[in-house]
Amino acid sequence: MSDRRSFLKKTAGFAAAAAGLTTCLPAQANGQSSIKWDEEVDLLVIGSGFAGQSVAVNSIRAGIKVTVLEKMQVIGGNSAINGGWFAVPRNPVQLAQGVTDDSPAELVKDQMIAARGMGNEAMLTRLAEMALPAYNMCLDAGVKFKKDFNIQVGGHNKARAVRLESGTGGGIITKLYEAGLSEGVDYRLQHKVEDFIMDGDEVIGVVVRKGYRFPDEGTGHLVKIRARKGVVLATGGFTRNMKLRSIVDPSLDPSLDCTNHLGATGEATLAAMTHGALPVHMNMIQTGHWGSPDEGGFGWSNALLSIGWHKGIAVNPTTGTRIMDERADRLTCSTAIMACRHKDGSPAYPLVFFNKNDHLGDSRVTRAVRDEMAWEFDSLELMAKKFDVPLKQLEATVEQWNSYVADKNDPDFNRKMDTAVKLAAPFVVSRVWPKVHYCMGGLKTDLDGRVINAKTLAPMKKFYAAGEATGGVHGHARLSSCACLEGLAIGFIIPNTIKADA
């Protein structure tokens, strides 16, 4: 039987081994007869982001009673504050735009390129095939997407990304929560899972700190909840766990800001590992190249840069020259951006700028200028003076870029030029610097969402994982707009698995 002391001891034990990425940890052998349960439920879902909400809603619709445990005071986790982008091949807006040659296979092709040989093509395919059902689930729940909006985002070869009208994933979280609540899902806030209770290789329940108030670990009290039909871990990533981050990826600059909420610390994932769950790709932590040093957390920069990457260019302020294919994937762009340094090694925040007059009244611009994370300049001279950029080189860069636009060819970085425009003052300018954003590492699952045991390499019984808590799906780089897809799509798969395992 697990208590808090043994949980912490086991967690520390994992931390020492996590850098090796794989380890064989002893499974617990708790006799069911000796456990005094405080409560029994059918299916426990841990976490209330995209994955947790989708699993909950689809499970209740499949006839499985669901209880969702959320450790924070509000639902949604990172999903509630993300940028609200959703990759959906063959969505209605895409088809109306005349893009009729897209498919789930086309999306997976792009994802596998970004994965750099480390992605799980079979899993990506299963998820991509559920994109349209997941999109329709959102519409049925009352989710509002931006009207007639569907664009091509970094690393994708087609325009297939729709976006929430609200500009954040909260637009989905709120509506799925309302749907789940009306259909009978039991949601509980401030319930922090501290350990799993095992019977051999089977998860039979959890130890929960009920009444927990983040981040005070002394709040609440421990209870044991039995889960008759299984446990789904959907707690997201661990980017706010600085100690774990530094262990699994010492190269990650600890001074980088993070887009995630403060509770993204991964303790339930670590607890699962102590019971034998197989970790994979824990050292692959993605940065969002659209971060702004002029606002904290996730912010609005990614929305502004959905213009900048298409209609503008990114320039190193120390040289006045372009630095990258502005439409490449996150890993490519983050690497190029973080190479921009002053002589003393401090960050030289690259400038991304585009034509002001082409986007008059656009809320992405007015909001960014209002919040002073973007500026308007009537000339290159004024821009160069503000950010100490070599003016003559900056003028030469813009002149050269405009010739590339005329030729529809970018010989410097081979950027796709279908949305590129000639640059002319006045300009909207923002600064960029990557922020820690997404964990590609987590628990290894089979294609049906079952957690894999590190010792046997076989599925653990009645233990499932979903979304960012899993690993090995996206390889080295997850493409933009695919977190929403992954979290929502797996919710269609796991309920079928649970019924098959019953």
Could you list the active site residues?
330
Give the DSSP letter of residue 146.
Answer: P
* Residue keyed to tokens 């030729």: 407
Helix (H) or strand (E) holding 493: helix 482-501
Asked if 381 and 391 touch (Cβ cutoff 8 Å), the reply is yes
* CA neighbor of 82 nearest in space, from 175, 163, 187: 163
* Residue keyed to tokens 């809320």: 363
- Give the Cα separation of 44 and 186 in Å (integer): 10
* CA neighbor of 41 nearest in space, from 189, 275, 178, 232: 232
Secondary structure class of 229 (helix, strand, coil): strand
* CA neighbor of 195 nearest in space, from 269, 277, 278, 282: 269
Total Cβ atoms within 10 A of residue 424: 12
- Give the Cα separation of 469 and 237 in Å (integer): 5
Half-sphere exposure of 413 (CA within 13 A, CB side): 20
Secondary structure class of 20 (helix, strand, coil): coil
Enumerate the H helices of 371-417 as residue ranges: 380-387, 391-407
Per the structure block, which two tokens stand in for 464? 């499932």
